[in-house]
Amino acid sequence: MEITLGIDNHATECVSWQAGDGIYAIQCPGYLPGPGRLPGWGYVVSYLVLGTDRALLVDTGFGISDLKRYVEALTHLPLTVVNTHVHPDHSGGNAQFDEVFVGEHETGGADGDEGVLFYQVPGQRDACAAVKAGGHYRFRFLRDGEAIDLGGRILRVVEIPGHTPGSIALFDENTGLLLSGDAILKRVFYGAGVPLRVYRAALCKAKALPIRDILSAHWPEPLGADFIDKMLRLLDAFDPETAERAEWSVPGMERRDLRMCFFGRDFDDPDFVALSFFMDQLEQITQ
């Protein structure tokens, strides 16, 4: 897999590859994940997991491409759709589906489909015609530890709050692969205002699983199971006074003081790990 950092090639179609036994990684068109002087890899990766009875689609991208049509060319199995969280690069294609599962704490409560909050960024490329033509969909909710049975294959919900309040990962018990969304990444954008100790505890809980590799949403290669240890060391060394300023210039959104602490030389360094955070949330996250 060729990795080009810091470049948006304006792709409009999906590309996929085998990421594990019965698992397709689907590279969806997207934008540079930023922020700051260490640009990442300008795509988002959804995952298609195949069981004997059902298939599971993890995240729906920005909606720039017809992901549903692409998935239907890979499998004819009935499909369950999950958002690891509801930022627009993970939920932008939701309108193509009737029902989407999300972590229960990503919402106002588990009794209805109201209260799911995410931002839409003005000025980005339009959604594809198939997404625009999509209808109303309903959110349903997943609890921490809940099992998703695809027939001969079980994925376990692992709640990891921090990137968003209700971010989840999915652990594939068959392969030992953890599909982490944006909860575990080379650079975690820590935007929920959740105390870092809560995030750390969730990482420790995830670490106790028999993880073989981590498949994240913004990097095409697996992160080893030891990547959680790298994240924990970064949290233990967290010092806002020495954190580097990072650019925050999303169109249509208020400019905020964003900082980033990290280990490693640059983004494609195998040991690179980073956490970006807003200074106006510092009191919340350090309590």
Inside any domain, residue 4 = no
Residue 200 structural domain: 15-285
Instruction: Quote the pLDDT of residue 119.
Output: 45
The amino acid that residue 72 corresponds to is E
Instruction: Quote the pLDDT of residue 262.
Output: 94
Inside any domain, residue 7 = no
Instruction: Quote the pLDDT of residue 120.
Output: 46
Instruction: Quote the pLDDT of residue 34.
Output: 56
Instruction: Quote the pLDDT of residue 126.
Output: 75
Q: Cβ neighbours of residue 254 under 8 Å, at least 6 residues apart?
A: none
Instruction: Quote the pLDDT of residue 54.
Output: 98
Instruction: Quote the pLDDT of residue 191.
Output: 86
What is the count of structural domains for the chain? 1
What does DSSP say about strands 223-224 and 258-263: parallel, antiparallel, or unpaired? unpaired
Inside any domain, residue 123 = yes
261 to 15, 87, 237, 284: CA distances (angstroms): 32, 22, 9, 17
Q: Which residue has the tokens 């993890």?
A: 58
What does DSSP say about strands 177-181 and 213-216: parallel, antiparallel, or unpaired? parallel
Per-residue pLDDT of the chain (287 residues; tens, 9 = 90+): 556 665 666 778 899 999 999 999 999 987 655 555 666 676 889 999 999 999 999 999 989 899 999 999 999 999 999 999 998 889 999 999 999 999 999 864 444 444 454 444 444 457 888 998 888 888 999 999 999 999 999 999 999 999 999 999 999 999 999 999 999 999 999 988 899 999 999 999 999 999 999 999 998 899 999 999 999 999 999 999 999 988 766 656 677 888 999 999 888 888 999 999 999 999 999 99
Inside any domain, residue 266 = yes
pLDDT tens digits, 204-233: 999 999 999 999 999 889 999 999 999 999
Sheet of 258-263: strand order equals 187-190, 273-278, 258-263, 244-246
Inside any domain, residue 90 = yes
How far apart, in whole angstroms, are the C-alpha atoms of residue 4 and residue 12? 17
What sign for the dihedral angle of Cα 161, 166, 170, 171?
positive
Inside any domain, residue 10 = no
Structure tokens given for 124:
């980005």
CA angle 180, 30, 78 (to 5 degrees): 60
CATH of the domain at 100: 3.60.15.10
Instruction: Quote the pLDDT of residue 123.
Output: 44
pLDDT tens digits, 85-112: 998 889 999 999 999 999 999 864 444 4
Inside any domain, residue 205 = yes
Inside any domain, residue 1 = no
